[in-house]
A and B are shown apart, each in its own frame.
Chain A
């Protein structure tokens, strides 16, 4: 029997990165294949290729044994492939029936045939065992129910292959159970399901086969009876990776940042506590969606806090206001550089001086000479490669943009620098320069709180690593205790003792 889907040697390169370096995977009818791997292993790229959103540079795709090219989403739909994204694509202002048939509304005399649409939609909901009316607007549904509506939509297109990208990442436990029940129900109807998840517990429960990816390559497969937590972690991490050490031993000082029972909006019932010492690089590790960015955003004040206290050098910091944080000496290099870290239409100079502009001003008027001098010096110190400080930031490479973000905070002489994914989208050369800069900063006594999903970076740069899982810190590892295995165990919610 031919597999439903057979991907052979898929390669996808992006400028500077190879997302997929020859991955093969197949999927049979009536089977759930779980796709696992660390952040950036290439899972989502692979699934997007099947969904028609990304086009592979090399490799072939066979459906029922016949080679195909999937150049668009509608082609994927015609082939019977439906992709359910991590972020749902439902329209909140339209009812369930309208969402299920969005873009394919049954027509009668050029008008929407509502009666037919409602009847077909309610038949589908019944099949899924979803006790909601087809007239309910989507904004009254829970996340899980919206996910079911997406599944109903996929079924209405007679999808034979269902790709689910982290479907449970924002669901509660009961909602997850409901979803898993539907997945196994679909399997018994002969639908082939590719299931991407970080949650190894539910993978163990649902998967018939596990395919692991690592660094854009196949890292191995597990048969149903081999699927155990430890086996999966071993495949995801790989045993052959050498530990890189880019930074020598450091002496750290007193507690600089103290966080007590901080609750974020994403996880309002999980309190987080930790301390960062002066001169230390403290890393928050974990999988995407663990709530790491939310923690640092709340400390910096750009996200509202749901409770808890933050103090810097013993002085309490008002939460909810980035100005208060900056005044106290806390600066944030955000994850989303292009949208919130920089005003990309502006020059290097104007970006760098924006937070502390009044220091280059007399009586409210900008002293252009001292502004240019400060931006020029900082840009030279950091080695920003730009024609001049008047160059638009949008015209710089990712690494140089990141240096501009760092430079803008250097001019504020921070006590605590928070860096969220400091080297994402940064080329190798600039990466080394940013690590070197972090080292210099810690030597001068600055504390660095880093969020990173790059395992090599976490292991190579951090003095201590706090691992988060679903909003809580599941463990803190010293430099000696750190390994990919120990971090992954904690990241998937298993304490060392458990």
Chain B
């Protein structure tokens, strides 16, 4: 616990330093417009990163979320749009039909959760490795998205009937973008779940030592499967937000690499890929740092081709610093009697 608090504090300091440097270089960084835009992105990225973090805490991985954004976005756009009659075989029955937006949202969240359930089933019951299962998901869902959309970009255009949903996802409350508010609400809920509930304690136990958890009577399979369902569900929420944010889903582009942003955020935030460690605050701080880094590249007019290089370098520096401090502490402890 203490080690985690230290990681979060370290991350927070790193974040403040990066923000201060950027703000000093360019006053644009602290402009209202930029902050609002940033918080919208942070909200969308943060929500699915929490799900991914839960999976990582059990010692697993979910590579499929990026492709899910494309698949779910395409499905959402096509079931909302009454004039879209391009469903291919075997979905032809959907042509000429559409769903009212509340049902469309439920279907999207449902498909996301269902895919997560499927991952969980393959991993815990068939005992396949999480990396392989979700890698196949990454490939398969991308392919399905492109097939269903027939490689056309799908958008909401001028279609009518779901203005309320659009308003909600793109709108602000008290000047704060809705995705950010949703992240805060979901973050608080998930904080309670992970750090205060029986389920959360069991989750950490399974991640730390699955055998010991099993010997303590915990249904480890159910716990592990549940995190993939949660990851699918939260990815579906993020997916809806991404779809309305860009207003157009390019099935071969949307969500590319996003699973890696989520993994990077969780790891920066103190989740160990070996499992058993991690916190909600850390995951959210990690997400913020990643988004600020991207923003920094734009605002400081660093060539955008260096975008990934900057991100990679900062993550490496962060993980390196953490490891050095841990090693130092260990050697100090070893000297003490």
A residues near B (Cβ < 8 Å) are 302, 322-323, 325-327, 332, 334, 339-346, 350, 354-355, 357-358, 361, 364-366, 408
B21 in contact (CB, < 8 A):
no
**Residues of chain A within 8 A of B214, CB atoms compared:** 302, 322, 340
Of all chain B residues, the one with the shortest Cβ separation from A300 is: B215
Chain A-chain B contacts (Cβ-Cβ < 8 Å), number = 63
Is there contact, CB below 8 Å, between B212 and A322?
no
**Residues of chain A within 8 A of B217, CB atoms compared:** 322-323, 325-327, 355
Is there contact, CB below 8 Å, between B216 and A365?
no
Is there contact, CB below 8 Å, between A357 and B215?
no
Is there contact, CB below 8 Å, between A341 and B215?
yes
Beyond known contacts A334-B215, A345-B276, A350-B201: 13 more, CB 8 A cutoff: A325-B217, A326-B217, A340-B209, A343-B208, A343-B212, A344-B209, A345-B208, A354-B213, A355-B217, A355-B218, A364-B199, A366-B201, A408-B216
B194-222 at interface with A (beta carbon < 8 Å) = 196-199, 201-202, 205, 208-209, 211-219
Is there contact, CB below 8 Å, between A340 and B215?
yes
B192 in contact (CB, < 8 A):
yes
Is there contact, CB below 8 Å, between A332 and B209?
no
Interface bits B23-51 vs A (CB < 8 Å: 1, else 0): 00000000000000000000000000000
User: Which 6 A-B pairs rank lowest in CB-CB distance, beginning with the nearest?
Assistant: A326-B217, A355-B216, A323-B217, A354-B216, A340-B215, A343-B209
11 A–B contacts from the bound complex (CB under 8 Å):
A322-B215, A326-B217, A334-B215, A339-B211, A340-B209, A345-B276, A355-B216, A355-B217, A358-B198, A361-B198, A364-B199
Q: B205: which of A332, A341, A343, A366 is its contact (CB, 8 Å)?
A: A343
Cα–Cα distance between A345 and B275 once the two chains are bound (Å):
12
Is there contact, CB below 8 Å, between B212 and A341?
yes
CB distance from B56 to the nearest CB of A (A): 17
Which one of A332, A342, A346, A408 has the greatest number of beta carbons of chain B within 10 Å? Answer: A346
Interface bits B211-253 vs A (CB < 8 Å: 1, else 0): 1111111110000000000000000000000000000000000
Q: A323: which of B196, B197, B212, B219 is its contact (CB, 8 Å)?
A: B219
Cα–Cα distance between A346 and B196 once the two chains are bound (Å):
16
**Residues of chain B within 8 A of A344, CB atoms compared:** 209
Is there contact, CB below 8 Å, between A364 and B211?
no
Cα–Cα distance between A358 and B276 once the two chains are bound (Å):
20
Of all chain A residues, the one with the shortest Cβ separation from B196 is: A365
CB distance from B305 to the nearest CB of A (A): 41
Known: A302-B214, A342-B212, A345-B276. A354 touches B192 (CB 8 A): no
Of all chain B residues, the one with the shortest Cβ separation from A360 is: B198
Q: A332: which of B196, B198, B215 is its contact (CB, 8 Å)?
A: B215
CB distance from B1 to the nearest CB of A (A): 8
Q: B198: which of A334, A341, A366 is its contact (CB, 8 Å)?
A: A366
Cα–Cα distance between A325 and B217 once the two chains are bound (Å):
8
Cα–Cα distance between A302 and B214 once the two chains are bound (Å):
8
CB distance from B203 to the nearest CB of A (A): 12
**Residues of chain B within 8 A of A334, CB atoms compared:** 215
**Residues of chain A within 8 A of B201, CB atoms compared:** 350, 354, 357, 366
Number of interface residues of B (CB under 8 A): 20
CB distance from A401 to the nearest CB of B (A): 12
**Residues of chain B within 8 A of A341, CB atoms compared:** 212, 215
CB distance from B61 to the nearest CB of A (A): 21
**Residues of chain A within 8 A of B199, CB atoms compared:** 364
Of all chain B residues, the one with the shortest Cβ separation from A347 is: B1
Of all chain B residues, the one with the shortest Cβ separation from A356 is: B217
Known: A322-B214, A326-B217, A334-B215. A346 touches B198 (CB 8 A): no
Which one of A302, A340, A358 has the greatest number of beta carbons of chain B within 10 Å? Answer: A340
Is there contact, CB below 8 Å, between A366 and B215?
no
Cα–Cα distance between A357 and B217 once the two chains are bound (Å):
11
Q: A339: which of B197, B209, B216, B276 is its contact (CB, 8 Å)?
A: B209
Known: A323-B217, A345-B276, A366-B196. A339 touches B202 (CB 8 A): no
CB distance from A490 to the nearest CB of B (A): 30
CB distance from A319 to the nearest CB of B (A): 14
Interface bits B270-303 vs A (CB < 8 Å: 1, else 0): 0000001000000000000000000000000000
CB distance from A345 to the nearest CB of B (A): 6
CB distance from B210 to the nearest CB of A (A): 10
CB distance from A70 to the nearest CB of B (A): 29
Of all chain A residues, the one with the shortest Cβ separation from B202 is: A357
**Residues of chain B within 8 A of A355, CB atoms compared:** 216-218
Cα–Cα distance between A345 and B2 once the two chains are bound (Å):
12
Cα–Cα distance between A9 and B196 once the two chains are bound (Å):
58
Is there contact, CB below 8 Å, between B196 and A354?
no
Is there contact, CB below 8 Å, between A339 and B198?
no
Is there contact, CB below 8 Å, between B219 and A364?
no
Interface bits B115-134 vs A (CB < 8 Å: 1, else 0): 00000000000000000000
Cα–Cα distance between A343 and B212 once the two chains are bound (Å):
6
CB distance from B212 to the nearest CB of A (A): 5
**Residues of chain B within 8 A of A366, CB atoms compared:** 196-198, 201
Cα–Cα distance between A291 and B199 once the two chains are bound (Å):
35
Known: A323-B217, A332-B215, A341-B215. A354 touches B205 (CB 8 A): yes
**Residues of chain A within 8 A of B209, CB atoms compared:** 339-340, 343-345
**Residues of chain A within 8 A of B208, CB atoms compared:** 343, 345-346
Cα–Cα distance between A87 and B201 once the two chains are bound (Å):
36
CB distance from A417 to the nearest CB of B (A): 14
CB distance from B201 to the nearest CB of A (A): 6
CB distance from A379 to the nearest CB of B (A): 17
Of all chain B residues, the one with the shortest Cβ separation from A409 is: B216
**Residues of chain A within 8 A of B215, CB atoms compared:** 302, 322, 332, 334, 340-341
**Residues of chain B within 8 A of A340, CB atoms compared:** 209, 211-212, 214-215
Cα–Cα distance between A325 and B208 once the two chains are bound (Å):
23
**Residues of chain B within 8 A of A323, CB atoms compared:** 217-219
Cα–Cα distance between A260 and B198 once the two chains are bound (Å):
36
Of all chain B residues, the one with the shortest Cβ separation from A354 is: B216
**Residues of chain B within 8 A of A345, CB atoms compared:** 208-209, 276
Is there contact, CB below 8 Å, between B212 and A365?
no
Of all chain A residues, the one with the shortest Cβ separation from B195 is: A366
CB distance from B336 to the nearest CB of A (A): 12
Cα–Cα distance between A308 and B213 once the two chains are bound (Å):
26
**Residues of chain A within 8 A of B219, CB atoms compared:** 323
Of all chain B residues, the one with the shortest Cβ separation from A344 is: B209
Cα–Cα distance between A105 and B212 once the two chains are bound (Å):
41
Cα–Cα distance between A350 and B200 once the two chains are bound (Å):
12
CB distance from B197 to the nearest CB of A (A): 5
CB distance from A332 to the nearest CB of B (A): 7
CB distance from A254 to the nearest CB of B (A): 26
Of all chain A residues, the one with the shortest Cβ separation from B276 is: A345
Of all chain B residues, the one with the shortest Cβ separation from A353 is: B201
